[in-house]
Amino acid sequence: MPELPEVEVTRRGIEPYVRGRRVLRVDVRSGALRWPVPPELDQTLARREIVEVGRRGKYLLFEVDEGWFIVHLGMTGTLRVLPLASLPAAAKHDHIDWIFDEFVLRYRDPRRFGAVLWHPRGAGPVSMHPLLAGLGAEPFAPEFSGELIYRRTRARSISIKQALLAGDIVVGVGNIYASESLFRAGVRPTTAAGRLSAARCARLADAVRATLSDAIARGGSTLRDFVGSNGESGYFQLDCFVYDRAGSPCRVCGTVVRHLVQGQRSTYYCPRCQR
Ligand SMILES: [Zn+2]
């Protein structure tokens, strides 16, 4: 499943192509995604210029003068830029093409858990869209800080790992990134969220940013997967400290990495580095 780093790398990969360019038309071959694709999408977007490609959580936000079309990649979605001159015929799961003058932005999604939606400017800022309004802080925004983690966890008895995964404090920390961030912060994943000190919350916020930054940087070298190829993209090959390394020595101290299950998700940690 594409996580925040993959979505951010997709954004960076396609924005230079589409920003400042006009959509000529939109081909919706199949609008049956997680929610129906708006039937008027072609009419709404025809001749509109893409002003900017933003991101909120795992949602890509394509801004035009009249509003935003929002793309979520779901479990298996990809967006690729393909040259019009040598455009491959649409395959079975290539549901939508945005056709520009020299290239096509193509959305493929075999499992159809993704979404393409429209948010008109008249409905207010895109951040008010019902799917976006309740999201936690962006990990790279100033509002995400140790202070925020501290404040938002005081009354919570759940573990800090589950608090991170919940997505209402900070977005983008999926299962792999939660284990890795907690390792970098030296925090045991089972620690009750409400008992984490302010200083440790600050270390954790830094660790979340560092972990996601590393993943995005690593993804930069796979940009070709998003532009002009038919490659399927999965998780970036993170050089994990603990994730999926149960029984192997900790890369920092050599202690055997342990595995446990929290909320039906696998957690990995070093019992010596994380207390
Ligand atoms: Zn260790």
Please tell me whether residues 204 and 260 are part of one structural domain.
Answer: yes
Please tell me whether residues 126 and 154 are part of one structural domain.
Answer: no
The pLDDT assigned to 2 comes to: 83
Q: Tell me, yes or no, whether 174 lies in a domain.
A: yes
58 flagged as catalytic: yes
- The pTM for the full model equals 0.91
Name the 3-class secondary structure at 124.
coil
Please tell me whether residues 85 and 161 are part of one structural domain.
Answer: no
- Residue 254 reports pLDDT greater than 60: yes
Q: Tell me, yes or no, whether 230 lies in a domain.
A: yes
Choose the final residue of a domain: 76, 105, 133: 133
CA distances to 185, 198, 212 from 159, in Å: 15, 16, 21
Please name the residue that has the structure tokens 């045991």. Answer: 188
Please tell me whether residues 127 and 248 are part of one structural domain.
Answer: no
Please tell me whether residues 111 and 155 are part of one structural domain.
Answer: no
Q: Tell me, yes or no, whether 177 lies in a domain.
A: yes
- Write the pLDDT tens digit of every residue in 82-140: 999 999 999 999 999 999 999 999 999 999 999 999 999 999 999 999 999 999 999 99
Choose the final residue of a domain: 82, 105, 133: 133
- Residue 187 reports pLDDT greater than 50: yes
Q: Tell me, yes or no, whether 156 lies in a domain.
A: yes
Q: Tell me, yes or no, whether 138 lies in a domain.
A: no
Please tell me whether residues 111 and 154 are part of one structural domain.
Answer: no
Residues 132, 167: contact at Cβ < 8 Å? no
The CATH number assigned to the domain holding 61 equals: 3.20.190.10
Please tell me whether residues 8 and 129 are part of one structural domain.
Answer: yes
The CATH number assigned to the domain holding 217 equals: 1.10.8.50
3-state SS string over 146-169?
A: HHHHHHHHCCCCCEHHHHHHHCCC
The pLDDT assigned to 236 comes to: 62
Say how many Å lie between the CA of residue 256 and the centre of ligand 1: 8
Strands 52-56 and 258-262: unpaired
The pLDDT assigned to 219 comes to: 77
Strands 25-28 and 94-99: antiparallel
Q: Tell me, yes or no, whether 265 lies in a domain.
A: yes
Mean of pLDDT values over 71-88:
92
Please tell me whether residues 23 and 123 are part of one structural domain.
Answer: yes
Q: If you average pLDDT over every residue of the chain, what do you get?
A: 92
Say how many Å lie between the CA of residue 218 and the centre of ligand 1: 23
Rounded distance between C-alpha atoms, residue 116 and residue 41, angstroms: 9
Rounded distance between C-alpha atoms, residue 200 and residue 95, angstroms: 45
The pLDDT assigned to 42 comes to: 96
The pLDDT assigned to 226 comes to: 53
Rounded distance between C-alpha atoms, residue 204 and residue 224, angstroms: 32
The pLDDT assigned to 8 comes to: 92
Rounded distance between C-alpha atoms, residue 136 and residue 56, angstroms: 10
Mean of pLDDT values over 225-230:
47
Please tell me whether residues 153 and 127 are part of one structural domain.
Answer: no
The pLDDT assigned to 1 comes to: 78
Say how many Å lie between the CA of residue 30 and the centre of ligand 1: 49
- Residue 144 reports pLDDT greater than 50: yes
Please tell me whether residues 112 and 154 are part of one structural domain.
Answer: no
Q: Tell me, yes or no, whether 94 lies in a domain.
A: yes
- Residue 220 reports pLDDT greater than 90: no
Which tokens in the block code for residue 200?
């440790």
The pLDDT assigned to 232 comes to: 44
**256 has which bridge partners?**
249
Choose the final residue of a domain: 75, 102, 133: 133
Residues 263, 261, 110, 229: is their CA dihedral positive or negative? Answer: positive
Count of domains for the chain: 2
Q: Which of 2, 5, 139, 189 is catalytic?
A: 2
Q: How sure is the predictor about 143, in pLDDT bands with cuts at 50, 70 and 90?
A: very high
Say how many Å lie between the CA of residue 270 and the centre of ligand 1: 5
Q: Tell me, yes or no, whether 140 lies in a domain.
A: no
Residues around ligand 1, an ion, CB closer than 5 A = 250, 252-253, 255, 270, 272-273
265 flagged as catalytic: yes
Residue 251: partners with Cβ closer than 8 Å, 6 or more residues away: 241
Please tell me whether residues 81 and 178 are part of one structural domain.
Answer: no
Out of 11-15, 22-26, 197-201, 245-249, pick the least confident.
Answer: 11-15
Residue 44: partners with Cβ closer than 8 Å, 6 or more residues away: 38, 66, 67, 69, 118
Please tell me whether residues 159 and 207 are part of one structural domain.
Answer: yes
265: domain range?
A: 146-269
Helices 4-18 + 198-220 axis angle, to 10:
50
Q: Which of 58, 161, 203, 245 is catalytic?
A: 58
